[in-house]
Amino acid sequence: MSRLFGPCLGSGLGGSRLRRIARRVTRTKPIEVIHAEESEEKLERMLGLWDLLAIGIGGTVGSGIFVLSGLIASQYAGPAVLLSWALAGCACVFSGLSYAEMSSRVPSAGSSYAYTYHIMGELPAVVAGWCVALEYGISGAAVARSWGDKVYDWISFTLGAGEQTWMRPAGDISIMAGVIQAACVCLLLYGLKMGKTTVNFFTVLKCMLVAFMTIAGFMHFNSANLTPFIPAAFGFGGVMRGATSAFFGFIGYDEVCCMAAEAKNPAKVMPRAVMGTIAGVTVFYVLATLALVGMVPYSDIDKDSGFVFAFRDVGWGWAQHICSVGEIVTLPLVVLISFLAQPRLQFAMAEDGMIPAFFSKQDQNGQLFQGTLWTGVVMTVIAVFVPFEPLNDMISAGVLLAFNFTNGCVVLANHRYHRPVLCPALLAAYAVSSCLAVFLWQYSCPLWVCILFTIPPVAIFLALWWMCPRGEGPNAIKPSFSAPLVPFFPCFGIAFNWYLIAELSWQGILEIVGYIMLAVITYLCYGYWHSVGNTTQWQGILSRNPPEQHPKSACLIEQGNLANGENLEINPSD
């Protein structure tokens, strides 16, 4: 990436200093360093394919069935909510394929952070890491708060016990949110083995609950409720609006990638876990939603608790109570899985020197005790005191930006070998121009303006595809999984993620901009000066695990790639 900025930074003393800074902030992490780190296996590898699927499906399935299905059916698409889920699943595949390939290329903890560090450089990696932290840590605290509200309503109103003021002693304080968040932290302090067992158990329980809701719904299925399939009041535009909302029901599948450092044979298992999660979740959503819209007319579906009130309407009060209790019992699994990934992300960043080293310290049992404890304390305080309604859009935007970083990494990994300067420049231009075009379409600017600003991203994409042929260096590793139709799928994924961001509120967009600025400032104040790549250039780990011990490494140390921070063979004829 430094080749992209170097010619633009001038000459002389000032230009030299700027070029040095540009080299440091865009220094990439060589693949032999990643292999050396993984060979040390600081985190015990104990997760198989089924464990990872449990993490992916358990952390993803939840609000999509309990909340979003009823909302989309009643407000946006009617019975065509089935199409909304199917379209959202297809759109999810575009980014999911990128995660599957990158998880086989970079089988280490950190997910988008690790991929971006290897492909784009240090500063982009820090921004990606902070965006991912919104999904792992902050969103888990938000789910804990949602669970606390549901418990309060269930005890106070459903059970008729009266308002439990001790649960909400003042203002926005939620005691039960803190209780469930602290319980998840304590569980993980015992180690991943205990956490894995709990995740597997509750994932099976959640799948059984969803299967019960689906089968019970089909027992009251009335095909007349599917007519008209696409209500005239909604049209196909409503189906697409529903697909936009449904997409957020898939967020969470990428959390399995953050567990790569503890996965057995990650290069082979991780792609299967990612795509298996997306496929499994899509099947759950489509079947459950079909049962819901077949049980009662779409106009009678409650937008907040579709299944609960649908069972009430068909006279199955006992099933209604099972759904209510089941949601309360299984929702904490999302809190647990979200927080499960956060210490692993911090471990990866601390190992690279981007955040203080104590986040990567392990106890005598090899557990990330300190990082889990202190992060858990912070997340518990946030869950108790912070109302998340104003922050939901910021969290969604951060997750979608992390998706775009991973999509961009796949494009660069496959296409920049022959054109190391042109390819990153075209990708950056495409990202910016597609973002602008999508926002113009979203905010209903004049048609000619929208078309005019759509032409550049299309032209840039075609130029990238035509002028930057797919190829890698002679020493590059062939990943166990290669995403098909690159750069088409990842570039479409980038544009679609911009579209979803454009659907969010301006408050959320401004919040994520401020959050990214805070990430950059934090990096410049700490990570820039303590980065392992910029201080020791990873010589410590390479001396313990020489590259020649890792024949799959794509680079050779004697070629100077470690010294200049490049991790891909470059053809100088660009």
Instruction: Give the model's confidence band at 556: pLDDT under 50 very low, under 70 low, under 90 confident, else very high.
Output: very low
- Give, in order, the Cα–Cα distances in Å from 551 to each of 31, 108, 238, 413, 555: 11, 18, 53, 19, 10
Rounded to an integer, the average pLDDT of 52-66 is 84
Rounded to an integer, the average pLDDT of 128-147 is 89
| pLDDT value of position 60 | 83
| pLDDT value of position 190 | 83
Distance CA(211)–CA(239), nearest Å, equals 25
| pLDDT value of position 557 | 39
| pLDDT value of position 574 | 38
Domain ranges of the chain: 45-405+512-536
Distance CA(365)–CA(239), nearest Å, equals 51
| pLDDT value of position 146 | 84
Count other C-beta atoms under 10 Å from residue 447's C-beta. Answer: 9
Mapped onto helix, strand or coil, the DSSP state of residue 487 is coil
Instruction: Give the model's confidence band at 542: pLDDT under 50 very low, under 70 low, under 90 confident, else very high.
Output: confident
| pLDDT value of position 301 | 92
Rounded to an integer, the average pLDDT of 162-166 is 82
- Give, in order, the Cα–Cα distances in Å from 231 to each of 73, 307, 445: 10, 21, 27
Distance CA(548)–CA(53), nearest Å, equals 34
pLDDT at 44 over 70: yes
Asked whether the bond before 231 is cis by omega within 30 degrees of 0, the reply is no
Write out the two tokens for 108: 């280490």
User: Which has the closest alpha carbon to 402: 501, 279, 288?
Assistant: 501
Mapped onto helix, strand or coil, the DSSP state of residue 47 is strand
Rounded to an integer, the average pLDDT of 100-108 is 90
Distance CA(369)–CA(359), nearest Å, equals 9
Out of 110-114, 248-252, 352-356, 525-529, pick the least confident.
248-252
Fold of 45-405+512-536: Amino acid/polyamine transporter I (1.20.1740)
Neighbouring-strand partners of residue 93:
none
Percentage of the residues of the chain whose pLDDT score is greater than 70: 91
User: Which has the closest alpha carbon to 140: 246, 59, 63?
Assistant: 59
Write out the two tokens for 547: 């590259």
Distance CA(390)–CA(412), nearest Å, equals 35
Rounded to an integer, the average pLDDT of 230-237 is 91
φ and ψ at 533, to 5 degrees? -65, -30
Query: Residue 159's Cα: distance from chain center in Å?
Result: 37
> HSE of 495 in the Cβ direction (CA atoms, 13 Å)?
20
CA triplet 113, 406, 521: central angle to 5 degrees?
Answer: 45
- Give, in order, the Cα–Cα distances in Å from 464 to each of 98, 254, 429, 469, 492: 18, 27, 10, 8, 13
Which of the 8 DSSP states describes residue 551?
A: T
Residue with more model confidence, 548 or 465: 465
368: left (phi over 0), alpha (psi -120 to 50) or beta: beta
- pLDDT tens digits, one per residue of 345-375: 999 999 999 999 989 888 887 788 889 999 9
What is the Cα Rg of the chain in Å? 24
473, 569 Cβ separation under 8 angstroms: yes
Residues 6+ apart with CB under 8 A from 244: 88, 499, 500, 503
pLDDT at 554 over 60: no
Count other C-beta atoms under 10 Å from residue 418's C-beta. Answer: 18
Count other C-beta atoms under 10 Å from residue 86's C-beta. Answer: 18
pLDDT at 572 over 50: no
Distance CA(158)–CA(415), nearest Å, equals 58
Distance CA(35)–CA(542), nearest Å, equals 10
Instruction: Give the model's confidence band at 544: pLDDT under 50 very low, under 70 low, under 90 confident, else very high.
Output: confident
Percentage of the residues of the chain whose pLDDT score is greater than 90: 49
Rounded to an integer, the average pLDDT of 170-191 is 89
295, 62 Cβ separation under 8 angstroms: no
User: Which has the closest alpha carbon to 277: 203, 191, 342?
Assistant: 203
Rounded to an integer, the average pLDDT of 74-95 is 91
pLDDT at 231 over 90: yes
User: Which has the closest alpha carbon to 99: 38, 56, 59, 64?
Assistant: 56
Write out the two tokens for 113: 């952070």
User: Which has the closest alpha carbon to 503: 245, 252, 250?
Assistant: 245
**Of 83-97, 366-380, 409-423, where does the model show the most confidence?**
409-423
Rounded to an integer, the average pLDDT of 15-20 is 79
Rounded to an integer, the average pLDDT of 89-107 is 90
| pLDDT value of position 149 | 85
Count other C-beta atoms under 10 Å from residue 7's C-beta. Answer: 9
Out of 71-75, 360-364, 545-549, pick the least confident.
545-549
| pLDDT value of position 177 | 93
Rounded to an integer, the average pLDDT of 139-160 is 85
| pLDDT value of position 426 | 97
- Give, in order, the Cα–Cα distances in Å from 307 to each of 74, 179, 390, 406: 12, 27, 27, 35
| pLDDT value of position 569 | 37
- Give, in order, the Cα–Cα distances in Å from 397 to each of 40, 56, 457, 501: 35, 20, 21, 6
Write out the two tokens for 55: 């993490």
pLDDT at 187 over 80: yes
Arithmetic mean of pLDDT over the chain: 86
Write out the two tokens for 286: 């489509």
Instruction: Give the model's confidence band at 308: pLDDT under 50 very low, under 70 low, under 90 confident, else very high.
Output: confident
User: Which has the closest alpha carbon to 115: 31, 177, 40?
Assistant: 31
Rounded to an integer, the average pLDDT of 432-443 is 94
- pLDDT tens digits, one per residue of 495-521: 999 998 998 889 999 999 999 999 999
- Give, in order, the Cα–Cα distances in Å from 440 to each of 399, 434, 445, 462, 503: 22, 10, 6, 21, 12
Instruction: Give the model's confidence band at 407: pLDDT under 50 very low, under 70 low, under 90 confident, else very high.
Output: very high
| pLDDT value of position 385 | 92
DSSP element (H, E) containing 326: helix 317-330
Asked whether the bond before 487 is cis by omega within 30 degrees of 0, the reply is yes
Write out the two tokens for 461: 């994409």
| pLDDT value of position 548 | 57
- Give, in order, the Cα–Cα distances in Å from 474 to each of 35, 81, 570: 18, 48, 10
Residue-by-residue DSSP string for 259-325 = GGGGBSSHHHHHHHHHHHHHHHHHHHHHHHHHHHHHHS-GGGS-SS-HHHHHHHHTT-HHHHHHHHH
| pLDDT value of position 213 | 94
Neighbouring-strand partners of residue 47:
263
